Amino acid sequence: MNLPYFIAKRISDPGQGNFSSIIQKVAVASVAIGIAVMVGAYMILGGFQENIKDKIFSFSGHIQVVKYSLTNSFEEDPISMESERLQRIQDNAYVTHVQEFAQKPTILQNSDEVTGLMIKGVGESFNKEYFNSYLVDGRFIDFNDTSFTPEIVVSQDVAEDMELQVGDRVVTYFIQDPPRTRRLTVVGIFNTALDDFDQKIVLGDIKMVRGLNGWEDDQVGGYEVFINNFKNIDQANEELADLVSEEQFTQKVPDKFSEIFDWLSLLSQNNSIFLALILFVACFNIVSVLFILIKERTQMIGMFKALGATDGLIRRVFSYNGLQLVLKGMLIGNLMAIVFGLVQYYLKPITLDPIHYYMEFVPIAWNWTMIIGINVLVVGLITVTMLLPTALISRISPVKAIRFD
């Protein structure tokens, strides 16, 4: 029989209405609230970061392959689609998909409304699965095998500013020598809530950009490479850099949008500080509860010592008692966080202003590794912290304790 555990179990229920019962409930509640807040915060933060990253990667891939250029012009220098080199990129262990693109600045006109944008030409290889979740109206471009398709997909911001709807026709002006125009049809409207895309990018047919630039059929502005795991982006970038030609270079998309990714990293740091503060409060509460329990059971400790119990045995009794409170609070806290996560994930009752938060509702990410890690960290840290109040037991004299009132 585990004697300390047996004793701890017998004294864990002090009865209803007395002081010990109240402070134990307070301890359980503090741990439960702390765990619920920590797990909930990391689910929301993870969902927020994943949502923002998915939007960026759906438009730009994880790594881009482009040609070296010494100018800051919006016009791109073309690169040839070398089949052997492209095949080696596609066969790389980190790569899941490769798609070509070409960009060209344009002026969009509809009646009296005019705006400057960047038309991004894409082709059949464009990964619609990443993009379709952001379509709010219409469809994606239907590509033609022979000539370019006069269809575009615009953002909801552009559609509202220019009073466009699906099916409307617009005139695009391309500033070049000689200047050219194209009459295009809006077939879809997307919304990412990211200004870098919604207010700057229009999707069109890459064949149109090739024709306007006078490129050959095998020339593109660059490649967008998607990898199987964002955590491996550095290794993947190093390997892809060895596969491209001397006139090309690879660029990680997080470096291209460094201000956004630095902001997301700063959010993680803030969340870590928040986690540390909650842990401190939870540990402080458990230490306070154990101090009170030890003081309240001073006579019992004296009796145990008089009967020959060692300080270590008595300390384990109160450690088991404190750990029981912690585990009960963690169970309640995890249930609260998971129920909240499920409700928000499926029903989305908590909404956001997309202008300020880049999304319409509070996102949830189910990172079970992080959730388990938080629980293990809480148990480990509180267990170590409980050594402090239980050390008081060794200073209690049996004679004084028995007389203690």
Q: Which residue has the tokens 């891939």?
A: 61
How many other C-beta atoms lie within 10 A of the C-beta of residue 319?
Answer: 19
C-alpha distance from residue 337 to each of 41, 325, 349, 362, 380 (Å): 9, 18, 15, 14, 20
Measuring CA to CA, which residue among 110, 212, 121 is closest to residue 169? 110
C-alpha gyration radius of the chain? 31
Please report the pLDDT score of residue 120 as a whole number.
92
Determine the 3-state secondary structure of 387 from DSSP: helix
**Residue 19, pLDDT score:** 65
Q: Per-residue pLDDT tens for 144-186?
A: 877 888 999 999 999 988 889 999 999 999 888 788 899 999 9
pLDDT band for 332, please (50, 70, 90 cuts).
Answer: very high
Residue 324: closest CA among 386, 371, 280: 386
The tokens for 324 are: 């029981």
Question: For residue 388, what pLDDT band results from cuts at 50, 70 and 90?
Answer: confident
Closest by CA to 102, choosing from 86, 119, 82, is 119
State what percent of residues in the chain have pLDDT above 90: 26
Mean pLDDT confidence for 349-353: 88
Q: Are 189 and 153 in contact (CB under 8 A)?
A: yes
**For residues 129-154, average pLDDT:** 87
Using alpha carbons, select from 344, 334, 336 the residue that is nearest to residue 373: 334
Query: Any idea how long the chain is?
Result: 405
Domain ranges of the chain: 3-55+261-403, 69-246
Query: CA–CA separation, 310 vs 299, rounded Å?
Result: 15
Measured in degrees and rounded to the nearest 5, phi and psi for residue 210 equal -60, -45
Joined tokens for residue 343: 């409700």
pLDDT of 397? 63
The predicted-structure confidence for 285-308, as pLDDT tens digits, reads as follows 777 777 777 777 777 767 777 777
Q: Give residue-wise pLDDT tens across range 189-213.
A: 999 888 878 888 999 999 999 999 8
Number of helices and strands in the chain (H, E): 16, 12
Q: Please list the residues that pair with 183 across neighbouring strands.
A: 171
Question: From CA 185, how far away is CA 169, in angstroms rounded?
Answer: 4
pLDDT in tens, 51-70: 888 888 888 899 999 888 75
Bond into 389 cis (ω within 30): no
Pairing of strands 180-190, 151-155: parallel
pLDDT digits (tens, 9 = 90+) for 78-115: 888 777 888 888 899 999 999 999 999 999 888 777 88
Helix axis angle, 19-60 relative to 311-347, nearest 10°? 40
